[in-house]
Amino acid sequence: MYNFEFKNPVKILFGKESISKLSGEIPGDANILMIYGGGSIKRTGVYDQVMAAVKGSTISEFGGIEANPHYETCMKAVDVVKENNIDFLLAVGGGSVLDASKFIAAAALYENGDPWDILAAGAPVEKAIPFGAVLTLPATGSEMNGNSVITRVERQEKKAFGSPLVMPQFSVLDPECVFTLPDRQVANGVVDAFIHVMEQYLTFKVNSPLQDRLAESILTTLIEEGPKVLADRKNYEAAANFMWCATMALNGMIGVGVPQDWSTHIIGHELTAFHGIDHGRTLAIVLPGVMHIKRDNKKDKILQYGERIWGITTDNENERIDAIIARTVQFFESLGVPCRLPDYDVPETTIGKIVERFKQSEAKIGEKQDMDYQEIEKILRDRL
Ligand code: NZQ
Ligand code: ZN
């Protein structure tokens, strides 16, 4: 196992009616800006629950954060924060609203020029407005990490940044929020959480049996609980287990001391940037290609994953890996998530555009930093 340092200070308030505990978590004299998305919270009743919980506080609102949140919209929120001397952000929504709030928190106090540099140039975040979250969609893990992904629409660029300063002060996780999710968002969430685990697990062995088993337990639980949530949206127990899986998949715990890949995410973000495909769906497209093309790098872990998660032990190793990839695809498809580029009407020309970006940046990605633009092209062509 590698050396590591680990700190996760996010307080989680988990369970039924946990939104009512909100007020105890926000300083009484705070000047709050509540940030939300396209209006689902008004239809689902979460907005009313939040307003009841923060009654008596000074609170204003900023709605309209898009799925795959736009830099342009975030910068409008930054103006609102500055004009109104906001000193606490309350994000109410899915990963997009949380990610937007993190960027707004950092951009509003950024003094070294254009805040886009935080995303595009890795400019360090030195301060951020404190924020808390009410999560309405289990998927990203944003509720318990310091990561954020923002899209600049005019440039068709989707970029990420991370800082401990934008970890939420607290996150409220009420599994009843799952009850109102459409099938598509449940499926996206299961796939996203599943692939967060894979990015931190499907690499190479470093003698980390505890991390391996933690990762495998999340995968197995998602395989068991995901379909239950899809079949019966009011199954509270299944919703609760799904929600906690998604948080555990990307709160840092399973990734300490082990190599991490993230190539599926980095390539997937390009598919969202060019075609607006839902984040989870881009991952379902790309992961099978990564497993196929990087089967030598990842052989030991793919075989362990196949045996422990799917009970696949037959055939020679190469054929077994094919069977393991096919079983993984079958799981995603069983959730209603297609796994090939043509399923999303992505033309072949997009592959050229994406590959050109990686060629220009000379970036090498993956757990061994050995995946170049030529391999990325092979991965995407495998998904035609
Ligand atoms: O916008 P509203 O009206 O709120 O509707 C949303 C949105 O249309 C709706 N929704 C959310 N909760 C609901 C609900 N509808 C009914 N009932 C509810 N309880 O669902 C739609 C999708 O929401 P969104 O927040 O976009 O989804 P998700 O949570 O999957 O977030 C995706 C974003 O997170 C980023 C992705 O790249 C993408 O931009 N990620 C963030 C990560 C992180 N911070 O660590 C890691 C991930 O890998 C990912 O990249
Ligand atoms: Zn993800």
How confident is the model at residue 274, as a pLDDT? 96
Ligand nearest to the CA of 278: 1
pLDDT surpassing 90 at residue 166? yes
pLDDT in tens, 243-259: 999 999 999 999 999 99
Spelled out in words, what is the top-level CATH class assigned to the domain 181-382? mainly alpha
pLDDT in tens, 178-226: 999 999 999 999 999 999 999 999 999 999 999 999 999 999 999 999 9
Q: Compute the distance from residue 33 Cα to the ligand 2 centre, in Å.
A: 26
- Residues 304-308 have a mean pLDDT of 98
Q: Compute the distance from residue 314 Cα to the ligand 2 centre, in Å.
A: 31
Closest residue CA from atom 28 of ligand 1? 95
Atom in ligand 1 nearest the alpha carbon of residue 44: 17
Q: Best mutation site among 149, 159, 274 for ligand 1, i.e. most ligand atoms within 8 A of its Cβ?
A: 149
pLDDT in tens, 167-189: 999 999 999 999 999 999 999 99
pTM: 0.98
How confident is the model at residue 143, as a pLDDT? 98
Q: What is the mean pLDDT of the chain?
A: 97
Q: Give the model's confidence band at 315: pLDDT under 50 very low, under 70 low, under 90 confident, else very high.
A: confident
According to CATH, the topology of domain 11-177 is: Rossmann fold (3.40.50)
Q: Is the CB of 148 under 6 A from ligand 1?
A: yes
Closest residue CA from atom 43 of ligand 1? 142
Instruction: Delimit the domains of the chain by residue range.
Output: 11-177, 181-382
pLDDT in tens, 23-52: 899 999 999 999 999 999 999 999 999 999
Q: Compute the distance from residue 191 Cα to the ligand 2 centre, in Å.
A: 8
**What does each C-alpha distance from 154 to 129, 158, 184, 358, 382 come to in angstroms?**
27, 11, 27, 19, 29
How confident is the model at residue 142, as a pLDDT? 98
pLDDT in tens, 349-372: 999 999 999 999 999 999 999 999
Residues around ion ligand 2, judged by CB within 5 A, are 192
Q: Is the CB of 281 under 6 A from ligand 1?
A: no
Atom in ligand 1 nearest the alpha carbon of residue 38: 3
Q: Compute the distance from residue 261 Cα to the ligand 2 centre, in Å.
A: 12
Percentage of residues in the chain having pLDDT higher than 70 = 100
Percentage of residues in the chain having pLDDT higher than 90 = 99
